[in-house]
Amino acid sequence: MPGNVVINLNAAQSLVMFMRKQGATRADVQKAELYLGRVRDLDAANSKYQKLKELLNQMSVSH
């Protein structure tokens, strides 16, 4: 469901939480970026999107 903001946000959030516990792999980061990219295209002003994007950026920089 690429057009569903809630599903894409939840998928990205699940990956971010997993990466925080288990460590980030390139594949996991890319998958989260895919989900967040879909949300960006649909609702870039979404506050949950903004928070997850920042968390993912922090992970990408630190790993």
pLDDT at 35: 98
Mean pLDDT, rounded, for 7-22: 96
Q: Which amino acid is at 51?
A: K
Query: How many CA atoms lie less than 13 Å away from 32 in the CB half-sphere?
Result: 25
Mean pLDDT of the chain: 93
Q: Which amino acid is at 24?
A: A
DSSP code, position 12 = H
pLDDT at 47: 97
Residues contacting residue 12 through CB under 8 Å, at least 6 positions apart: 32, 35, 36, 39, 52, 56
pLDDT at 61: 67
